[in-house]
Amino acid sequence: MPLPVEQQKVIQEAVKEHEHLVVDGMDISGHWNRMFGQRVIFDYDYANLEKVTSLPGGESLGWCYGCAKCTAVCPIDIVGDYSPRKIHRKTQMGIDLFTSDDLWLCTTCMNCLRVCPKEVNMIQIMPAVREQAVLAGNVPEELQKAFEDTAKYGNPLGQSQRKRAAWTKTAGVPVPIIKDLGRPVDVLWYVGSYPSYHPRGQDAARAAARIFNALGIDFAILGREEKDDADSQRLAGEIGLFEMMAEHNISVFEKYEWNVMVVTGPHEYNAFKNEYPKMGFERPILHYTQFLVQHLDKLKPLLKHEINRTVTFHDPCYLGRHNGEYDAPRELLRAIPGLKLVEMGRCRENGYCCGGGGGGMWLDSFTQNHTTMRLSERRVLEAVEYGAEVLSVCCPFEVSRFEDGAKSTGNDQLDVLDILELLDQSMNGG
């Protein structure tokens, strides 16, 4: 039972006056008599914590009670020194998150929120603080370039809109553009920026086109009318840029008649399923793995070539934790004859992060000064530890990230392939 308040006050005064004190036969001298005094925590200045919690979306940082469950699962802490709990503590100690490098390290992977008993939500906190940093011009240079390229060219790679559908010329199959088609289609395929422009992303796009044709899917793409979904830019704090891209895309989507939209990447899936509805766009959206699983009965007979390799799968944060889809990619992999699927220790709900989310795709040079290795490199090492010959993915951000990670860690023998590429290999050989 705690001592009555009046007795506590008496003891506190006695402690101040006496170097040696015995209460009820117990010697309370020494350093531990501080239990009767004010806790040191109250000596801190909470102004910088309150700067965060006063923002719409930043409130939950103040709910942290330091249990550190987030630290155990934070992918950045595994290769650095980082977690929501540590950010909370630093702001208590006077660090200004608005100008701190810590602001840009979070990949919004959501693993912390999955385990947090107080629901401290970094997916809301970080964009809220980053928005203010963006408005103040406190943005890492490489991220700022991605913002500017998106605004100017419609994609973060700085490529011409006129070339957005250039990859279709080497697909080997028809890839109709809906504007040229002049009729409704069953499937509107939103290709995405990296599958449209990045060489390794284009490999997956061409594979998808061949698969859709083989299945007899009535589909079309938007071509040069398509612009970046900008969800990662939103999470990196550029809210205005996101709204500009969303307004453009929504107006294009609504120009044409179609039944379901299929997207190549999890970030686009998250944007169109969860963020664009806030701006009035609500239509059926499927990630390509979900769509192809619905056609698995027709797809399986087409998978004629065995792929006799040990394959592991990396769960994308924005398909898995953010949107709850873990099974569709695995069903497709298990459908490939000869393929042996092995799971890494960090998988499904506790899957690791490639480091590309929340603007991290454009911050590798920045983050390397704060981590012992890239998140993608750590994931490559884990895949190798589990005996994988192939690291399979279903996010356009990941192929190039993991291929770079394989090279930089000396694991060139590990192939990184999109599930689309594996399906295409099984269909057509090679």
So what's the pLDDT on residue 226?
A: 97
By the 8 A CB rule, do 316 and 322 touch?
no
Q: What is the pLDDT of residues 358-390, one digit of tens each?
A: 999 999 999 999 999 999 999 999 999 999 999
- Arithmetic mean of pLDDT over the chain: 92
Q: To the nearest whole percent, how much of the chain has pLDDT over 90?
A: 87
Backbone angles phi, psi at 418, to 5 degrees: -65, 150
So what's the pLDDT on residue 25?
A: 73
Query: How would DSSP label each residue in 199-266?
Result: HHHHHHHHHHHHHHHHHT--EEE-GGG-----HHHHHTT-HHHHHHHHHHHHHHHTTS-EEEEEESSH
The yes-or-no verdict on residue 1 having pLDDT over 50 is no
- Tell me the mean pLDDT in the region 247-264: 97
pLDDT category at 45 given cuts 50, 70, 90 is confident
The yes-or-no verdict on residue 75 having pLDDT over 60 is yes
258-263, strands of its sheet edge to edge: 219-221, 185-190, 258-263, 285-287
Cα–Cα distances in Å, from 343 out to 205, 313, 406? 26, 7, 18
In sequence order, the 6+-apart residues with CB closer than 8 A to the CB of 75 are: 107, 109, 111, 352, 353, 355, 375, 378
So what's the pLDDT on residue 76?
A: 95
Q: What is the pLDDT of residues 175-212, one digit of tens each?
A: 999 999 989 999 999 999 999 999 999 999 999 999 99
Nearest to 330 by CA among 319, 193, 162: 319
So what's the pLDDT on residue 30?
A: 62
Q: To the nearest whole percent, how much of the chain has pLDDT over 70?
A: 90
So what's the pLDDT on residue 389?
A: 97
The yes-or-no verdict on residue 24 having pLDDT over 60 is yes
The domain defined by 152-295 carries CATH number 3.40.50.1860: yes
So what's the pLDDT on residue 274?
A: 96
- Tell me the mean pLDDT in the region 330-350: 96
pLDDT category at 285 given cuts 50, 70, 90 is very high
**Same topology between domain 152-295 and domain 297-428:** yes
- Tell me the mean pLDDT in the region 46-69: 93
Q: Which fold has domain 297-428?
A: Rossmann fold (3.40.50)
Domain spans of the chain, in order of start: 5-37, 47-136, 152-295, 297-428
So what's the pLDDT on residue 429?
A: 81
Among 19-23, 58-62, 144-148, the least confident range: 19-23
